[in-house]
Amino acid sequence: MSTPRIPVTVITGFLGAGKTTLLSNLIRDSKQRRLAILVNEFGEVSIDGALLRNEGSGAEIHDLANGLVAYDDDADFLPTMLALWQRRSVIDHVLIETSGLALPSAVMEQLQGEVLAPCFVLDATLAVVDTPLLLDGAFGQPAGEARSIDAPVAELFELQLANADIVVLNKIDGLDDEALLAAESRVRALAPSIRFIELAHEARLDTRLTLGLHLHEPANSAHRHYGPVASMPGLTMRPLANQGLLDGHSHSGLGAHSHGLATHKHFHEQDPGWQSFMIRSKEQQHPDTLRDAVAALARSEPILRVKGFAPCAAGRLLIQAVRSRVEASIDPAGTARQAQLVFIGYHPSRPRLLERLQQLTGTAWH
Ligand SMILES: Nc1nc2c(ncn2[C@@H]2O[C@H](COP(=O)(O)OP(=O)(O)OP(=O)(O)O)[C@@H](O)[C@H]2O)c(=O)[nH]1
């Protein structure tokens, strides 16, 4: 009998959708599976890899520095995957988190290429969605005046969805049934070939609905992941008004399909307007001041994502911003030698951000 191929789940989703949070919960909830995780980030320093390692689980984490995993100029992807294959006796499943600006199709194509196809099989591609932002029209139906940043955001978002098997509606704490059904309609309109829509309360998914789905194995027509929405984890979990529409694994009725090499296009070159850079400070930061400063910058500059660490009097401050929604949390046991914030945006001006950050925090940044 030939050696079984290792299943691979690809997790995609726009900047800040909750991919890393979802992954860290998956790691915690899948202790019985030996997971290898490839984290692909757009930015100089891996913040996500550090956060996942903090979980202290047995999962092995590999950082892939090229923000566009498996694209033509990514020299790390194939060697990393082949090294995992060499160690296949200790790996049950591989999870790949693409950066928020990459399309998953590049990874999907490489998995089907002659080098990797004998070793790995695509299990499923999940697209994680920031549901409140989707409902606000942030990905293509701007409520107000369209800005220059809206079109590239909408384009990437749609292409990520178009390549996915499963859309995970995330950040739904606080949304009612009506909002969830509106989000489902929006997703189905944007990506009619989506096969499952799942709900993640606080970025938590039932592992049965996430891993081992065999969606790309032609012989397998049985769905092994039943479990109605009402039985999925989450304190605020309630069944939806219309269970027929959104039952945790609703699908279009398609059989297993493979993503042919030419069927899904991806950008081989990144739109150069998307840029990321790091801004650092040696000074201790005040949590509230830094949080408000980042929120003010996100409102006035074309910045969509900020993340990083800073030293503060009470320990290590973690900053996570998606647009102007900023979370500042303190790890009393953590240390940070200096403040390091990664900014990601569309045609952002580093000098202007630097100047404004200095003004707003009253500390020196470089
Ligand atoms: N309220 C709420 N916040 C969430 C949820 N999931 C993630 N977040 C927050 O959203 C922010 C971004 O989460 P990440 O998991 O880092 O998002 P990501 O998709 O990995 O981000 P990038 O890799 O930068 O594209 C963090 O502040 C999370 O705490 C959720 O279900 N509910």
218-271 residue pLDDT tens: 654 444 333 333 233 333 333 333 333 333 333 333 344 444 433 334 444 568
With a cut of 90, say whether residue 148 has pLDDT above it: no
Ligand 1 mean position, distance from CA 270 (Å): 23
Q: What atom of ligand 1 comes closest to residue 203's alpha carbon? A: 31
Q: Check pocket membership of 17 for ligand 1, CB cut-off 6 A.
A: yes
Q: Give the pLDDT confidence score for residue 207 in this predicted structure.
A: 84
Q: Give the pLDDT confidence score for residue 88 in this predicted structure.
A: 95
- C-alpha distances (whole Å) from 141 to each of 41, 180, 199, 243, 341 are 27, 17, 22, 27, 30
Which pLDDT band holds residue 141 (cuts at 50, 70, 90)? low
Token readout for 2 is: 């030939």
For 5-58, the pLDDT digits (tens) are: 999 999 999 999 999 999 999 988 888 889 999 998 876 667 777 777 776 667
Q: Check pocket membership of 43 for ligand 1, CB cut-off 6 A.
A: no
Please choose, from the candidates 284, 288, 328, 287, the residue with its C-alpha nearest in 3D space to the C-alpha of residue 306. Answer: 328
With a cut of 80, say whether residue 98 has pLDDT above it: yes
Per the CB < 8 A criterion, the answer to whether 188 and 196 are in contact is no
Does domain 6-231 correspond to CATH entry 3.40.50.300?
yes
CATH architecture of 274-361: 2-Layer Sandwich (3.30)
Q: Check pocket membership of 67 for ligand 1, CB cut-off 6 A.
A: no
Furthest CA-CA distance within the chain: 66
Ligand 1 mean position, distance from CA 257 (Å): 30
Q: Give the pLDDT confidence score for residue 70 in this predicted structure.
A: 82
Q: What atom of ligand 1 comes closest to residue 174's alpha carbon? A: 1
Distance between CA atoms of residues 292 and 127, nearest Å: 30
- β-pairing, 60-64 with 35-40? parallel
Domain with CATH 3.40.50.300 in the chain: 6-231
Residues 6+ apart with CB under 8 A from 291: 319, 326, 327, 328
Q: What is the ipTM of this complex?
A: 0.99
- Which of 14, 21, 51 is the pocket-test mutation for ligand 1 (most atoms within 8 Å of CB)? 21
For 287-335, the pLDDT digits (tens) are: 999 999 999 999 999 999 999 999 999 999 999 999 999 999 999 998 8
Q: What atom of ligand 1 comes closest to residue 100's alpha carbon? A: 25
Distance between CA atoms of residues 117 and 78, nearest Å: 12
User: How many residues appear in the chain?
Assistant: 366
Burial 18-50 (b: 16+ CB within 10 A, else e): bbbbbbbbbbebbeebebbbbbbbbbebbbbbe
Q: Give the pLDDT confidence score for residue 74 in this predicted structure.
A: 82
Nearest CA to ligand 1 atom 4: 171
Which pLDDT band holds residue 71 (cuts at 50, 70, 90)? confident
Domain with CATH 3.30.1220.10 in the chain: 274-361
Q: Give the pLDDT confidence score for residue 220 in this predicted structure.
A: 45
